[in-house]
């Protein structure tokens, strides 16, 4: 999968993503990450990319032309119009379902804004998806772009070492993941739940499912409303979120 990040700060994006799992996946050829400097496409002799908003108001806007030409350079190279995500607080909130859907694309462009935003006319021509990473305002789109690349990349087959770990984790079926424990069996006086030491797979599976339901009820009741639960599971949720059994 190919990511093309259109940005005024390419080194920030590249440096932030060339480590860890994503860096390894890029080295293994599963992903390719290209940060494209919008400033390189400025037609202005001083490489200017921003100007005052018509109608007045605070701050500067990124102009249409350099953004359009940077996008066109990608489109020409790949020979088709790619999906193009503009990261903005005005977008829909990014979800795990989006991460999975974006991971199916061969090419994905992510457009990072700065200053007070980008001239609306170029957005109308290139953007296919408006995506926010939450209801707060950041100084630019680079951190959101990195969040997207990370979350999408781990949904690309082969990127996670163990393919299972992409399927049985938080947000699958609108439930949070169950609690996990490793050695030692007792730490700070707290024992690992007995059932996990039992070797009884069916009971372990049931315990984990119950913990997922209880945890989601306690921490994300909004999510639980969207989960598909059996009558028995609904009963767990009703009987109190602090039950440990």
Residues in contact with ligand ADE by the rule CB under 6 A = 87-89, 132-134, 136-138, 141, 144
- Which residues, in sequence order, are CB contacts of 182 under 8 Å at separation 6+? none
Q: Where are the alpha helices (DSSP H) in the chain?
A: 10-17, 20-27, 64-78, 96-102, 120-126, 142-153, 201-219, 221-224, 231-238
Closest distance to ligand ADE from the beta carbon of 54 (Å): 22
Closest distance to ligand ADE from the beta carbon of 89 (Å): 4
Evaluate whether 107 touches 64 at the Cβ level (below 8 Å).
no
Question: Helix, strand, or coil here: 110?
Answer: strand
Closest distance to ligand ADE from the beta carbon of 99 (Å): 14
Closest distance to ligand ADE from the beta carbon of 131 (Å): 7
Cβ proximity to ligand ADE, 66 vs 141, nearer residue = 141
Cβ proximity to ligand ADE, 74 vs 85, nearer residue = 85
DSSP at 38: G
Closest distance to ligand ADE from the beta carbon of 216 (Å): 24
b/e map of 112-143 (b: 16 or more CB within 10 Å)? bbbbebbbeebbeebbebebbbeeeeeebbbb
Dihedral sign computed on CA atoms, order 61, 64, 69, 71: positive
CA 72 to chain centre: 25
Cβ proximity to ligand ADE, 54 vs 136, nearer residue = 136
Cβ proximity to ligand ADE, 146 vs 237, nearer residue = 146
Cβ proximity to ligand ADE, 148 vs 156, nearer residue = 148
- Which residues, in sequence order, are CB contacts of 151 under 8 Å at separation 6+? 94, 96, 99
Cβ proximity to ligand ADE, 147 vs 196, nearer residue = 147
Closest distance to ligand ADE from the beta carbon of 146 (Å): 11
As a whole number of angstroms, the distance between CA 193 and CA 210 comes to 13
């Amino acid at each position: 999968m190919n990511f093309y990040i259109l940005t005024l700060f390419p080194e920030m994006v590249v440096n932030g993503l060339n480590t860890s799992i994503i860096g390894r996946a890029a080295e293994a050829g599963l992903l390719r990450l290209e940060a494209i400097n919008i400033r390189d496409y400025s037609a202005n002799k001083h490489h200017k990319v921003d100007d005052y908003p018509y109608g007045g108001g605070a701050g500067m806007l990124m102009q249409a032309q350099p953004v359009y030409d940077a996008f066109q350079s990608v489109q020409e190279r790949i020979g088709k119009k790619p999906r193009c995500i503009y990261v903005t607080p005005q977008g829909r909130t990014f979800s795990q379902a989006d991460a999975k859907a974006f991971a199916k694309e061969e090419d994905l462009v992510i457009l990072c804004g700065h200053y007070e935003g980008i001239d609306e006319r170029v957005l109308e021509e290139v953007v296919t998806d408006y995506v926010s990473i939450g209801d707060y305002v950041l100084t630019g789109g680079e951190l959101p772009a990195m969040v997207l690349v990370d979350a999408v990349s781990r949904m690309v087959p082969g990127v996670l070492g163990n393919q299972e770990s992409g399927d049985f984790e938080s947000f699958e079926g609108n439930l949070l993941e169950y609690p996990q424990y490793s050695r030692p069996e007792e730490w700070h006086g707290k024992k690992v739940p007995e059932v996990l030491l039992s070797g009884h797979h069916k009971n372990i599976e049931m315990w984990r499912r119950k913990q997922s339901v209880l945890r989601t009820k306690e921490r994300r009741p909004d999510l639980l409303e969207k989960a598909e639960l059996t009558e028995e599971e609904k009963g767990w949720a009703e009987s109190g979120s602090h039950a440990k059994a």
